[in-house]
Amino acid sequence: MDNTKKVEILRIKGDISNLEEDIVVTEYPFTIFINDMEIVTLLCSPTSLEYLALGFIYSEGLINSLSNVRRITIDEDNGIGYVYLDEMNEFSKKFMGKRTITSGCGKGTVFYNVIDSFKSKKIEKPLTIDIESIKRLVRGFNKKSQLFIDTGGVHSCALCSADDIIIFEEDIGRHNALDKIFGRALAENIDTRDKVILTSGRISSEILIKAAKRQVPIIVSRSAPTSLSVEMAEKLGIALVGFARGEKMNIYTNFPNLNF
Amino acid sequence: MDNTKKVEILRIKGDISNLEEDIVVTEYPFTIFINDMEIVTLLCSPTSLEYLALGFIYSEGLINSLSNVRRITIDEDNGIGYVYLDEMNEFSKKFMGKRTITSGCGKGTVFYNVIDSFKSKKIEKPLTIDIESIKRLVRGFNKKSQLFIDTGGVHSCALCSADDIIIFEEDIGRHNALDKIFGRALAENIDTRDKVILTSGRISSEILIKAAKRQVPIIVSRSAPTSLSVEMAEKLGIALVGFARGEKMNIYTNFPNLNF
């Protein structure tokens, strides 16, 4: 399915208006089922859906590793991802079995269970990287994001070694873009513990926690971090970099992990 | 509570690095209870929390009007909003009573109930406005957003007449900013059916639906719309304007409602 759609627009520039063809980014409802039970509908870009499904259920704590997953089938036409798990972990049993108890249906509550379970998982393997490497990675990252350049409507996310972008994903949602990255890393058995995450989006606590779950030691964003993400990054031993643009960046936490 | 927090950062500019004090935007977990039952935890900016609670439960379809609400109490220190409803509407009864059936805990499913119930609510009172008025409103809107200028980390949202900004709100989440607007409009009994919504954020289907529920005839964004929001706006009779910056803007739907 296409990541963009053509639309007819009236383009205004000062006093001039023109009827033109333009493109907008596709917004695609994608519903995930686990063992035939409906879990969630994500609004996303219709690419890397298998990785999105995998990354989402991992981020939400519903699987601990790829070995829990027997099969994923994507029905692209109907926007459905069927995930079959061989065994449920404790959280997924609780999540799926006792829905009378999970009083919070809606945004956030699932996530807060995740916070509780990963509160104390400090980064075990700090990574040291040169500032110049970060600048080089950010330059490559910016060049790659053609969909953003075309539509202005998506977030990009990348998993990188100190030298190269290894996985690159885009999505209308910054959470989805990150989940696609981690879903693919899981599927392809790529170690995330010695890697850098680059993102175009703001770093909120939710983004930080997703990265912490995968033990990513360095997170770099083109945008701003929030207070909660700075506090958590400090505590978890993650080096947090914001406003990484051209020759500039702000390092918020764990300065010694970035070399000059 | 403050909307920003001071942090110490290492600021990099080319080869120069300086330890400096900077500010980041506060991220505040805010849990809403309805009749003593936990509903959701929003991650938000800690301002206008009463409006956020009200706007959120309205957007999610849990109340039909202010008359359903007996009382709202905000416990700012602990990040909790207690909402007491006199009577539950059909949706909230279903939502709160039969949680064994709402299989989808997490993002989106609640929202899709909302889509179903409001699918056909076309704008009843189209509003016609001059392009020059839009440009003037956008200029005023940009000037107002001091928090964004300070931190780069928030979205702004405003409810406007053709001449003036009537309500202005900011939040780290574009949904929260809009919910604050509508919560305040509800609380102050401001008619939204002849108004314009301005937002700094992307217009996704969820934003569009929230505005459609309040019968807002014109939505203007500094950013991009998605395909789904364009389709819905077309169908619902909403004039959708994107990339409104300086003298430029793109009109995506219902062109005749904007005058030259």
ipTM of the complex: 0.86
Higher-confidence residue of A118 and B154: namely B154
Distance, in Å, from the CA atom of A152 to the CA atom of B64, rounded to the nearest integer, reads: 35
- Which phi and psi angles does A49 have, rounded to 5°? -70, -30
- The reply to whether residue A204 touches residue B131, judged by beta carbons under 8 angstroms, is no
> Which residues 155-214 on chain B approach chain A with CB closer than 8 angstroms?
172, 202, 204-206
Question: B145-160 pLDDT, tens per residue?
Answer: 877 777 778 999 999 9
Query: β-pairing, B165-171 with B4-13?
Result: unpaired
**The amino acid at A65:** S
Quote the distance between the C-alpha of residue A37 and its chain's center. 24
Chain B residues touching A52 at Cβ < 8 A: none
Distance, in Å, from the CA atom of B215 to the CA atom of B218, rounded to the nearest integer, reads: 9
Candidate ranges A121-125, A256-260, B139-143, B177-181; pick with highest mean pLDDT: B177-181
Residue B18 in contact with partner chain A when CB distance is under 8 A: no
- The reply to whether residue A153 touches residue B110, judged by beta carbons under 8 angstroms, is no
- The reply to whether residue A104 touches residue B27, judged by beta carbons under 8 angstroms, is no
Chain A residues touching B18 at Cβ < 8 A: none
Residue A131 in contact with partner chain B when CB distance is under 8 A: yes
Nearest chain A residue to B60 by CA: give it.
A106
- In A202-235, which positions are buried (b, 16+ CB within 10 angstroms) versus exposed (e)? bbbbbbbbbbbbbbbbbbbbbbbbbbbbbbbbee
Separation in Å, CA A190 to CA A80, A124, A125, A161, A219: 26, 17, 16, 11, 17
**Mutation choice for A interface testing from B17, B226, B235, B248 by most A CBs within 10 A:** B226
How many of the other CB atoms lie within 10 Å of CB of A23? 18
Distance, in Å, from the CA atom of A106 to the CA atom of A103, rounded to the nearest integer, reads: 9
Question: A213-242 pLDDT, tens per residue?
Answer: 999 999 999 999 999 999 999 999 999 999
Q: What is the pLDDT of residue B120?
A: 52
B247 → closest Cβ in A4, A13, A229: A13
B82: its two tokens:
């207690």
Q: What is the pLDDT of residue A120?
A: 52
Residues facing residue B5 across a β-bridge: B24
Query: β-pairing, A218-221 with A196-199?
Result: parallel
Residue A1 in contact with partner chain B when CB distance is under 8 A: no
CB B154 within 8 Å of CB B27: no
Q: How many CB pairs under 8 A join A and B?
A: 212
Q: Residues A4, A7, A10, CA angle at the centre, nearest 5°?
A: 135
pTM of the model: 0.89
Percent pLDDT > 70 in chain A is 89
Question: B25-63 pLDDT, tens per residue?
Answer: 999 999 999 999 888 889 999 999 999 999 999 988 889
Distance, in Å, from the CA atom of A63 to the CA atom of A179, rounded to the nearest integer, reads: 13
Residues with Cβ within 8 Å of residue A148, at least 6 apart in sequence: A154, A155, A156, A170, A200
Distance, in Å, from the CA atom of A64 to the CA atom of A89, rounded to the nearest integer, reads: 7
Residue B246 in contact with partner chain A when CB distance is under 8 A: no
Chain B residues touching A17 at Cβ < 8 A: 131, 260
Question: B82-94 pLDDT, tens per residue?
Answer: 999 987 777 777 6
Q: How close A125 gets to chain B, by Cα (Å)?
A: 22
Residue positions of B annotated with a catalytic role: 105
Residues with Cβ within 8 Å of residue B145, at least 6 apart in sequence: B154, B156, B170, B200
Residue B97 in contact with partner chain A when CB distance is under 8 A: no
Chain B residues touching A100 at Cβ < 8 A: 99-100
Distance, in Å, from the CA atom of A89 to the CA atom of A87, rounded to the nearest integer, reads: 7
What DSSP assignment string belongs to B76-136?
TTTTEEEEEESS--HHHHHHHH-TTT----SSSHHHHHHHHHHTT---SS---EEHHHHHH
Residue B55 in contact with partner chain A when CB distance is under 8 A: no
What confidence tier does B95 reach under pLDDT thresholds 50, 70, 90? low
Q: What is the pLDDT of residue B103?
A: 29
- The reply to whether residue B12 touches residue A60, judged by beta carbons under 8 angstroms, is no
Chain A residues touching B29 at Cβ < 8 A: 108, 112, 228
Q: How close B20 gets to chain A, by Cα (Å)?
A: 10
Question: B216-238 pLDDT, tens per residue?
Answer: 999 999 999 999 999 999 999 99
What DSSP assignment string belongs to B178-220?
HHHHHHHHHHTT---TT-EEEESS-B-HHHHHHHHHTT--EEE
pLDDT at B13 over 70: yes
Question: A42-62 pLDDT, tens per residue?
Answer: 999 999 999 999 999 998 888
Strands (E) located in A175-252: 196-199, 218-221, 239-245, 248-251
Chain B residues touching A22 at Cβ < 8 A: 250
- The reply to whether residue B27 touches residue A204, judged by beta carbons under 8 angstroms, is yes
- The reply to whether residue A226 touches residue B131, judged by beta carbons under 8 angstroms, is no
Please provide the size of chain B in residues. Answer: 260
Chain A residues touching B255 at Cβ < 8 A: 10
What confidence tier does A96 reach under pLDDT thresholds 50, 70, 90? low
Q: What is the sign of the dihedral through the CA atoms of B49, B50, B52 and B56?
A: positive
Q: What is the pLDDT of residue B111?
A: 43
pLDDT at A145 over 90: no
B226 → closest Cβ in A24, A37, A251: A24
Query: β-pairing, A4-13 with B248-251?
Result: antiparallel
pLDDT at B102 over 50: no
- The reply to whether residue A105 touches residue B103, judged by beta carbons under 8 angstroms, is no
DSSP state of B153: -
Query: Average model confidence (pLDDT) for chain B?
Result: 87
The residue assigned the tokens 């569009």 is B208
A14 → closest Cβ in B42, B110, B247: B247
- The reply to whether residue A43 touches residue B100, judged by beta carbons under 8 angstroms, is no
Residues facing residue A4 across a β-bridge: A25
A191: its two tokens:
């170690």
How many of the other CB atoms lie within 10 Å of CB of B62? 25
B40 → closest Cβ in A13, A107, A202: A107
**The amino acid at B40:** V
Distance, in Å, from the CA atom of A33 to the CA atom of A56, rounded to the nearest integer, reads: 12
